[in-house]
Amino acid sequence: MRLLRYGLKGNEKPAILDDKDQLRDLSAVIADIDAQTLAYNVLTKISQMEIDTLPIINRPERIAPCVGKVGKFICIGLNYIDHAKETGAPIPNEPVIFNKWTSAISGANDNIVLPRGSTHTDWEVELGIVIGKEGKYIQEQDALTYIAGYCVVNDVSERDYQKNRGGTWDKGKGCDSFGPIGPWLVTADEISDPQNLELWLEVDGKRYQHSHTSNMIFNVKQIISYVSQFMSLQAGDIIATGTPAGVGLGIKPKPIFLKAGQKVRLGIAQLGIQEHLIVSE
């Protein structure tokens, strides 16, 4: 299933895409797409419905973040060898964990807002994992059973804040609008192999990133198991799994960063496409 949320901020409603790519309202079935409704039994109930009987939504004002009330937004850094090399970082022996604040979460077509004074805002297309049930000390062989679905994530990053402002990476990762998710949450049963997905990103029509999730250093099973050794995972948590080469920071001979007026377009096979206008605060 392709689940999504639509509506203006603070007034989002749940929806589903039918086989003809028509948007159908789920408001009479569930209150939202969040921790309460990502449970296996709820998703099964929705999958068994006659979707064609649900009301059609024409031209929604906004496609909202595909998950509401996210508890944790966990990110994995340097998870593609080519990206680690382009940034000059050593290849990690264990997954690098950092966080994006949940206030960074935005919709798949929302504007990306440059923070005041920002000169080094960058892009990162990533596969997002949406957790479907609580777990801790999860074994790799069981990891996929904890996944409700997958989504596209743009791990927008202010590199000066990230690298030069002291402390951890989080200052450059959690600015408002720096965490677009969606457009859809594609349920796990639709993705037979999360390590077999093409992903890409373009700025003003020029493709900078183009890779494949098979190139991850640590795969989806390993990531879920590893993260769960340090914290419990709850339904509705999101894990962004890292980005491949082609970020602005890695461009030679001189890095390129986002400017107001530019347009960013990115996508992952089977998971949909995001489109963003870059604006100044």
> What pLDDT score was predicted for residue 89?
86
pLDDT value at position 166? Answer: 82
> Which pTM value belongs to this model?
0.97
Beta bridge partners of 191: none
- State residue 146's pLDDT score: 98
The strand pair at 238-240 and 73-77 is best described as: parallel
pLDDT of residue 30: 96
From residue 27, alpha-carbon distances to 32, 47, 55, 129 in Å are: 7, 15, 10, 24
DSSP secondary structure letters along the chain = -EEEEESSTT--EEEEE-TTS-EEE-TTT-S-SSTTT-SHHHHHHHHTS-GGGSPEE-S-S-EE-SSSS-S-EEEEES-BHHHHHHHTPPPPSS-EEEE--GGGEE-TTSPEEEPTT---EE--EEEEEEE-S-BSS--GGGGGGGEEEEEEEE--EEHHHHHHSSS-GGGGT-STT-EEB-S-EEEGGG-S-TTS-EEEEEETTEEEEEEEGGGBSS-HHHHHHHHTTTS-B-TT-EEE----S--GGG-SSS-----TT-EEEEEETTTEEEEEEEEE-
By the 8 A CB rule, do 181 and 238 touch?
Answer: yes
- Consecutive sets of 10 residues in the chain, 281 residues long: mean pLDDT of each? 96 96 96 93 93 94 97 97 89 96 98 96 98 98 98 97 86 96 97 98 98 97 98 98 96 96 98 98 88
Q: How far apart, in whole angstroms, are the C-alpha atoms of residue 59 and residue 98?
A: 36
Length of the chain: 281
Question: 221: how many CB neighbours lie within 10 A of its CB?
Answer: 19
CB atoms within 10 A of CB 207: 12
| Cβ atoms 43, 6 nearer than 8 A | no
CATH number of 73-280: 3.90.850.10
Task: Give the Cβ contact number of residue 247 at 10 Å.
Answer: 24
d(CA 177, CA 32): 21
Confidence (pLDDT) at 150: 98
Give backbone dihedrals phi and psi of 164, rounded to 5 degrees, phi first: -120, 0
pLDDT of amino acid 255? 96
Contact 34, 68 (CB under 8 A): yes
For residues 58 and 85, what is the distance between their CA atoms, to the nearest angstrom?
A: 45
- The amino acid sitting at 74 is I
